Amino acid sequence: MEHGLPKITLSDRERELVALLAQGHTDVSAAEKLGISARSVTNILRSLMDRLGVENRFQLGLALGFLRKANVPPPNPALPVDASGDNR
Amino acid sequence: MTSSHVPVGAAVPSLVRWGLTSDADLVFRTLVTFGPRTRRMLAAELGLPPRRTDQALAELRECGAAMSTDDGGSAARVWTARRPSDVVSVLRSRRIRIVDAQAKARSHHGVVHALRTATAGLGLPALTAPGSAGSFADGLRYLVTREQARQRLAEVLRAEVREFLTMSNEQAFDAESARAAAPLDMALFTRGVQVRVLAAPPADGDPLDVSGHLVNATSFQRRETPDVPLKLMVVDRQLSLLPADPLNLERGYLEVSQPALVQGLLGVFDRLWSGAMPPERFALPAVQLSDRERGLIALLAAGYTDHSAAVRLRISTRSVTGVMRSLMDRLGVENRFQLGLALGALRAAVPPSLTSPAGPEPASDQES
C-alpha cells in the first residue's frame, strides 16, 4: 500500500518546525523557539505545502501524518536516560 | 486531607482518554485533589483492592503522572501527582509521535557513535556498510544482504539458545518481514526460549504484529517505548545483529560478537527495557468516525474550506466547526494541523495530491 506514495525528505529546519507544531506550538512560539521570524515560519510551511501539493494546515497535517513524516524531537540515544527516572 | 493541589471538585482531565485504565485515572484524581498519599491510604479511601491500587500506581509512574518518595518499603512510600496539564501534554506528545526514516538513522548513528567513543579502538564502522563482505575486524562480521542476515539469524537460533532480545524502531512492518518472523517467533516460543521484544508503538495500531498472540508473562514478553533508537537483536548476550545502514535494511547487517561492544548494546537494551511498558498504553486508540465526520473530513482533505464543505453537506459553517472541535477533543489535539497529523497517521484520510497519479513532485531529487 505504501508503494504509490511520493517520497519527500524534510530538511532539518522543516523537521524541527513540524515537530514543534505537532506538539501544539503556534507559529509565533515555534518561531521564537527556533530563533527565526514568524514570517520565515510561514515561508517554510508554504514551501512544504507546495511540495506536497496541499493548500492548508489541515491537509498539510494529513499528508505528513500519512507519510509518517514529522515530529520527533530526535531522542538522544547517546544517553538513554533511565526513562522511569522522572522523579522530580 | 490538608495539602490540596487543586480545589476539590475542580475539573481534572480524564486520563482514560489517553489510554490509562480507569483505576489509574481514579487514583490520579484522588492524588491531584486530596494531595499526597500512601498506597494503603489510597486503597482504604477508594475501596480498591491493594493489588489494583498498586497496578494503578505503577501505571501512573510509568507515564510520569505520579511519583513516589523512595524511602523505606513500598508501604511507606508517599505518592504525589504531577500537574494535570503537564501529564496531559506528556501523554499527548507521546501519542502523536511519528518517527521518520531520517530521524531513525540519526538515532542509530548516535548509538554507534557513543559506543565507538566509549570503547576506544573498536573497529565498529562509523557509517553504513563497509566495502567488503566477511570478517573485517575481530568479532565483527558484515552480512551483505538482509536475506543473508535472516539466514544467519535463523542458523544462530536453531542452536541451543536461552535468550533472544530484539528491539525495533519500525512503526509498520512489511509483509515479508512479518512472514519471515512469524515461524521464528513460534519456534522460539515452543522451545521456551526467553524472548523479549521491545518495539516502538505502531503509528496506527498496526495490525501486522505477528508476535502479539505469543505474549505471555513468562517466556515471551513485549514492551513498547517511543524512544527505540535502533534496530537490534541480541542472542544469549553474546552475539548481536544491527543494520549496516539504517536507511536501507537491504544493505545487510553487522554481526557483532566483540564482548565490549555486545555489552554496550545490551546496556542500551536493558535501560530502555526497564523504562518501557507493555503495549497498548501508547497506541493511538481506534477512532470510530461517524458518517458525518467521515464525509466532512473527506471534503476538507480534498481542499474544501469550512464554508464550501458546509454548503456541500447542507449544514451550517458553525456545525462544521462543531464537528471538527469534537473530533479534536476526542483525539486530544488542539489545532487543525495536529488533527491532520493524527488522522493521516491513522489512515483516515489523505489529500488527493498524494494519491493522484501525478503526485506532488518526483521523488528523485528530494530523496537522499
**Helix or strand (DSSP H, E) at B239:** strand B239-243
Domains and CATH numbers, chain B: 16-95 (1.10.10.10), 101-275 (3.30.870.10), 291-354 (1.10.10.10)
Contact list in A for residue B334 (CB cut-off 8 A) is 24
Q: Most confidently modeled of A42-46, B151-155, B169-173?
A: A42-46
Summarize the confidence of residues B348-359 as an average pLDDT: 66
Contacts of A87 in chain B (CB under 8 A): 67, 70
Distance CA A49, CA A18 (A): 12
Are A51 and B340 a contacting pair at CB < 8 A? no
For B237, half-sphere exposure in the C-beta direction (CA atoms, 13 angstrom radius) is: 6
**Amino acid letter, residue B73:** G
Residue B104 has a CB neighbour count (10 Å cut-off) of 23
pLDDT: is B222 or B196 the higher one?
A: B196
User: How far apart are the CA of A65 and the nearest CA of chain B, in angstroms?
Assistant: 4
pLDDT in tens, B25-73: 899 989 988 889 988 899 998 888 888 888 888 888 877 888 887 655 6
Q: Which residue has the cell 554496550?
A: B264
pLDDT tier for residue B356 given thresholds of 50, 70 and 90: low
Higher pLDDT, B183 or B235: B235
Put simply, the answer to whether B303 touches A55 (Cβ < 8 Å) is: yes
Q: Helix A38-52 crosses helix A12-22 at what angle (to 10 degrees)?
A: 100
Residue type, B337: F
Structure confidence at residue B248 (pLDDT): 82
User: Which tens digit of pLDDT belongs to each residue from A53-74?
Assistant: 888 999 999 888 877 765 432 2
Q: Which of A72, A81, A87, A88 should be substituted to probe chain B, the one whose Cβ sees the most B Cβ atoms within 10 Å?
A: A72
Are B366 and A7 a contacting pair at CB < 8 A? yes
Domains and CATH numbers, chain A: 12-66 (1.10.10.10)
Q: For residue A23, which residues of chain B lie inside 8 Å, CB to CB?
A: 89, 92-93
Sheet holding B66-68, edge to edge: B37-38, B78-81, B66-68
- Whether B92 and A24 lie within 8 Å, measured CB to CB: yes
Question: Which of B61, B271, B333 is nearest residue A82 as measured by Cβ atoms?
Answer: B271
Q: Across the interface, do B98 and A53 touch by the CB < 8 Å criterion? A: no
How many angstroms away from the CA of A62 is the closest CA of chain B?
A: 4
The answer to whether residues B208 and B177 touch, using CB atoms and an 8 Å cutoff, is no
From the list A59, A75, A73, A66, the residue with the least C-alpha distance to A18 is A73
**Do the chains contact at B229 and A77, CB–CB below 8 Å?**
yes
* Residues of chain B neighbouring A6 (CB-CB closer than 8 A): 354, 359-363
Question: Cβ contacts of residue B270 below 8 Å, gap of 6+?
Answer: none
Give me the pLDDT at residue B169, please: 77
CB atoms A80 and B268 under 8 Å: yes
pLDDT at B15: 80
Cβ-defined contact of A71 to B98 (cutoff 8 Å): yes
Position A4 scores a pLDDT of 45
